[in-house]
């Protein structure tokens, strides 16, 4: 199973809005600080509520999740670059960068669950932000948008190392 790192943006009820958003990112490329090149590819899709999404997928990055601190660094660097490009992007309702961020919440889920504290990096159109109660943890992002500031990607050794998991299990065994 692939664990994709992406920018996912919900663009509302009109397919053309998601397509315009996709054009803003499609083919864009960067050379990262480690010398690797990454190029953006996009996909436009519709969710179960018939709203349109654009997924921006940078190439040249791990598809198995964050299995080292170097990968977390590369993803964070790409995340910052994606957020910079998002600032002048065509209109969208909300967006998030991260591993498995694709269609992370439908509009109705976002508006009823309000788990925004668990989504650092969440960018909201000001109209959506106001409809959610104008939560104070959000800061200005770009004209018409606010965000819960991005914190970068995190490497968690216990998630990927069987050896460390076993050592932790030994520690937790009560004698």
Domain boundaries, the chain: 5-172
For residue 138 the two structure tokens come to 């959000």
Percent of the chain with pLDDT over 70: 92
Cα–Cα distance for residue pair 62/20, rounded to 1 Å: 27
pLDDT of residue 174: 66
pLDDT at 103: 65
Per residue in 115-167, pLDDT tens? 555 688 999 999 999 988 888 889 999 999 999 999 988 877 777 777 877 87
Dump pLDDT digits (tens) for 78-107: 999 999 999 999 999 999 998 877 767 788
Show the beta-strand stretches assigned E in the chain.
Answer: 5-12, 29-31, 37-46, 52-58, 94-99, 123-125, 139-142, 145-147
- Looking at the DSSP bridge assignments, the partners of residue 125 are 145
pLDDT of residue 108: 81
14: its two tokens: 């009109």
């Amino acid at each position: 199973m692939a664990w994709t790192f992406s920018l996912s943006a919900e663009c509302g009820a009109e397919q053309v809005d998601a397509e315009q958003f996709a054009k803003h990112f499609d083919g864009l490329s960067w050379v990262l600080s480690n010398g690797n090149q990454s190029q953006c590819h996009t996909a436009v899709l519709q969710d179960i509520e018939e709203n349109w999404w654009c997924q921006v997928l940078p190439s040249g990055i791990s598809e198995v999740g964050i299995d080292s601190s170097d990968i977390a660094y590369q993803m964070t660097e790409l995340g910052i670059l994606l957020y910079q490009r998002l600032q002048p992007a065509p209109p969208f309702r909300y967006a998030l960068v991260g591993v498995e961020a694709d269609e992370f919440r439908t509009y109705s889920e976002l508006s009823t669950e309000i788990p925004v504290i668990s989504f650092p990096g969440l960018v909201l159109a000001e109209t959506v932000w106001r409809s959610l109660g104008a939560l104070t943890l959000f800061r200005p992002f770009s004209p018409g948008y606010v965000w819960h500031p991005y914190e970068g990607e995190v490497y968690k050794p216990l998630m990927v190392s069987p050896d460390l998991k076993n050592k932790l299990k030994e520690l937790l065994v009560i004698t």
